[in-house]
Amino acid sequence: MDFKKHIADNIQAGDLTPDEIYAMLALPPNTEMGDFALPCFRLAKTMRKPPVKIAEEICAAYPKDALVCEVTAVNGYVNFKIDRDFWAKETLGTILSAREKYGSSDEGQGKTVCIDYSSVNIAKPFHIGHLSTTVLGSALYKLHKFLGYRPVGINHLGDYGTQFGKLISAYKRWGKKEDIEKGGLRALNALYVRFHEEAEKDEALNDEARAFFKKIEDKDAESVALFEWFKELTLKDVGKIYDLLDVHFDSWAGESFYNDKMQPVIDELSEKGLLVESEGAKIVDLEAYGMPPCIILRSDGASLYATRDIAAAVYRKKTYDFYKCLYVVAYQQNLHFKQFFKVLELMGKEWAKDLVHVAYGMVSLEDGSMSTRKGKVVYLQDVIDKCVDKALGIITEKNPSLENKEEIAKTVGVGAVIFGALYNNKIKDITFSYDKVLNFEGETSCYVQYTCARANSVLAKGGRAQSFEAKNILPQEFELIKQLSDFPATLKDALDKYEPCFIARYAVDLAQKYNKFYFDCKILGAEEGEKNFRLALTEATLITLKNALSLLGIGVPEKM
């Protein structure tokens, strides 16, 4: 039950609607004052009364019921206290009934949301720099689906450009099929790096690369066959990473898919007088909007990212009729998205307002950044493998007799990588630390997973409560119940702000409150009534933690 909504619906405060009151309701600094509070200071101007007087009038007029057991007016605030037993019974009953659907809703029913994420480059390694877009986009996909939307996951593959001419040139000069088949993307990347090293000495290699790319565009059989082979090798390699991270897509339409869809866009821009010539290039002038021009065609007639992104947006609207289209791309591309969103708006596409750039910060290891061209690449597979190995070492040390240690270490290690990328606000740069993400006592997925294992152990020993009574709730129990009841609102907030970190932090907070309850309150040794209630509280916590981690793409071992 949404207690805030219940309170907001029963408050009379001038001309404010229940939705406006709902937004104003806050949490008091401590629960002794109340569970929700309405500050009346902003009402003073419209109601022409002092806040203290307004609070007293709202308090006196509020209808008492079984849910709200106490209403007080204190220094311009109206404080509302929810009946503890009612809150506990309502919350636990809801969770134990809904189980894996707890927190879900149908708010997005009938609405399609396109989510463009990961977008790996063909024939380039899946490195740690791809981590944020991949797990952030995947979490948003899962969250939208959980809240009733129809998400469309799009992997906008980087499968177009002169880099493929460079690869063909490098392969024909120095590559062997058996070496590439065996080495996969790493072998291809080694060729790419060598090409750039050699091209610095011989500029003619770049001309050769451009010529090979032109052959791909002209459908030369040998060049296209090599390109398709590179693509096949890439998708095979990255597919293993996606499987590990529980990441899925509905569309793999990359840049090349839009080659035949750009001309109509160019024609429309021209017809609407938006396309102007500048130093031989065709641009849309955005000076009036405080931005540099958006280049649509270079002076040699070649298209650019903006051209393809505009064509892609038009295609997606026509194909999916999206409610929103999200682009999970690093903040370095802020200007690019502002530009092509504005171009679509100038074209008269009213749905341009539904395009959202979900910008995020960069990820690097503690020893610095990366460069694909120079070969200084931190492969994501290596990062995952190292986390899994470290997790196995920790688990073996703490619980040497544990069965299926390797499988559990895989779940813990992969979870640590995902959680490490999602725990902070998305816009922050992240320095990835193995020790930090694998700390079983810190703000990590390992800590949350261990809490789940603890709850599983309690339920294995005590059994699941068939029925329970909620009465004489202790402070530690009530803090846990409040946290449990806040899960649906947390998910809504995470979706509205495109911030899966809210879910990650919620899971840590819930785990901390459960562990305090676990240590402060007897469970298995309590008398029957208390024991059943605390077993129900344990099971509700386990369900909610598993739901939270699942939305992030993280599994939960039964034992640890």
Residue identified by tokens 């095979």 is 236
* CA–CA separation, 245 and 131 (whole Å): 10
What pLDDT was estimated at residue 470? Answer: 83
> Which residue, 345, 442, 402, 360, is CA-closest to 557?
402
Report residue 177 as tokens: 């099929």
Rounded to 5 degrees, what are φ and ψ at 16? -70, 140
So where are the chain's domains?
3-82, 390-424+433-552
What pLDDT was estimated at residue 327? Answer: 98
What pLDDT was estimated at residue 363? Answer: 83
> Which residue, 545, 525, 523, is CA-closest to 474?
523
> Which residue, 72, 67, 89, is CA-closest to 472?
89
Residue identified by tokens 């791309």 is 329
Helix ranges (DSSP H) in 272-333:
305-320
One-letter identity of residue 419: F
* CA–CA separation, 151 and 197 (whole Å): 43
* CA–CA separation, 341 and 519 (whole Å): 53
Fold of 390-424+433-552: Isoleucyl-tRNA Synthetase; Domain 1 (1.10.730)
What is the SS3 string spanning 333-350? Answer: HHHHHHHHHHHHHHCCCH
What pLDDT was estimated at residue 372? Answer: 47
Report residue 25 as tokens: 């309701």
Q: How many residues does the chain have?
A: 560
Cα dihedral angle (416, 418, 421, 423), rounded to 10 degrees?
A: -70
* CA–CA separation, 113 and 321 (whole Å): 9
Burial class of residue 451, CB neighbours in 10 A (0-12, 13-18, 19+) = buried
* CA–CA separation, 83 and 98 (whole Å): 22
Helix (H, G, I), strand (E, B) or coil at 153: strand
* CA–CA separation, 108 and 147 (whole Å): 6
Residue 244, C-beta contacts closer than 8 angstroms, at least 6 positions apart: 384, 414
What pLDDT was estimated at residue 367? Answer: 66
One-letter identity of residue 93: G
User: From edge to edge, which strands make up the β-sheet containing 150-154?
Assistant: 150-154, 112-116, 324-330, 355-360
* CA–CA separation, 454 and 538 (whole Å): 9
What pLDDT was estimated at residue 304? Answer: 83
What pLDDT was estimated at residue 369? Answer: 53
* CA–CA separation, 246 and 550 (whole Å): 9
Residue 542, C-beta contacts closer than 8 angstroms, at least 6 positions apart: 452, 455, 456, 459
Q: How would you write the pLDDT of the chain (560 residues) with one tens digit per residue?
A: 788 889 999 998 888 899 999 999 998 887 788 999 999 998 998 889 999 999 999 999 998 788 899 999 999 999 999 999 999 999 999 999 999 999 999 999 999 999 999 999 888 878 888 999 999 999 999 999 999 999 999 999 998 888 889 999 999 999 999 999 998 888 988 898 899 899 999 989 999 998 998 888 888 999 999 999 998 888 988 999 999 999 999 999 999 899 889 999 999 999 999 999 998 999 999 999 999 999 999 887 777 889 999 999 999 999 999 999 999 999 999 999 999 999 999 999 999 999 999 999 988 777 665 544 455 678 899 999 999 999 999 999 989 999 999 999 999 999 999 999 999 999 988 888 888 888 888 899 999 999 999 999 999 999 988 888 888 899 999 999 999 999 999 999 999 999 999 999 999 999 999 999 999 999 999 999 999 999 999 999 999 999 999 999 999 999 98
Residue identified by tokens 């694998």 is 438
* CA–CA separation, 61 and 12 (whole Å): 8
Element housing 359 (H / E): strand 355-360
For Cα atoms 222, 227, 233, give the angle at the middle one, nearest 5 degrees: 125
Residue identified by tokens 């509302």 is 80
Task: Kindly calculate the radius of gyration of the chain based on its CA atoms and give it in whole angstroms.
Answer: 28
What is the SS3 string spanning 494-551? Answer: HHHHCCCHHHHHHHHHHHHHHHHHHHHCCCCCCCHHHHHHHHHHHHHHHHHHHHHHHH
* CA–CA separation, 29 and 348 (whole Å): 49
Residue identified by tokens 């088949």 is 181
* CA–CA separation, 361 and 429 (whole Å): 4
* CA–CA separation, 289 and 292 (whole Å): 9
Question: In the chain, what's the furthest Cα-to-Cα distance?
Answer: 86
For 3-82, the fitting CATH number among 3.10.129.10, 3.30.70.20, 3.30.1360.70, 3.40.50.880 is 3.30.1360.70
